[in-house]
Amino acid sequence: MGSVEYNDMELMICVASRVFEDGASVSVGTGVPCAAVMLAQKLYAPNLLITFEAGSVAPLLPTMPLSVGDSTTMRKAIQTSSTCEAMEMLQRGLIDYCFLGGAQIDMYGNINSTVIGNYEKPNVRFPGSGGANDFASMSWRTIVVTPQSPRRFTNNIDFITTPGYLNGSGAREKAGLPKNTGPYKIITNMAVMDFDEDTKKMRVESVHPGYSLNDVKKNTGFELLVRDDLKETKPPTKDELDILRNEVDPFNAVIGRRAE
Q: Annotated active-site positions, please?
A: 53
Distance between CA atoms of 126 and 113, rounded to whole angstroms?
6
Distance between CA atoms of 260 and 257, rounded to whole angstroms?
9
Give residue 17's identity as a one-letter amino acid code: S
Q: 188-197 as b/e, with b when 16 or more CB fall inside 10 Å? A: bbbbbbbbee
- How many residues appear in the chain? 260
Q: Which of 72, 41, 88 is nearest to 251 (CA)?
A: 72
The answer to whether 91 and 139 have CB atoms below 8 angstroms apart is: no
Residues 6+ apart with CB under 8 A from 226: 203, 204, 213
The answer to whether 135 and 144 have CB atoms below 8 angstroms apart is: no
Q: Which of 180, 243, 201 is nearest to 37 (CA)?
A: 243
Q: Kindly tell me the burial class for residue 6, based on how many C-beta atoms sit within 10 Å of its own C-beta (0-12, 13-18, 19 or more).
A: buried
Phi, psi (rounded to 5 degrees) for 165: -95, 15
Q: Which of 37, 36, 257 is nearest to 147 (CA)?
A: 257
Give residue 41's identity as a one-letter amino acid code: Q
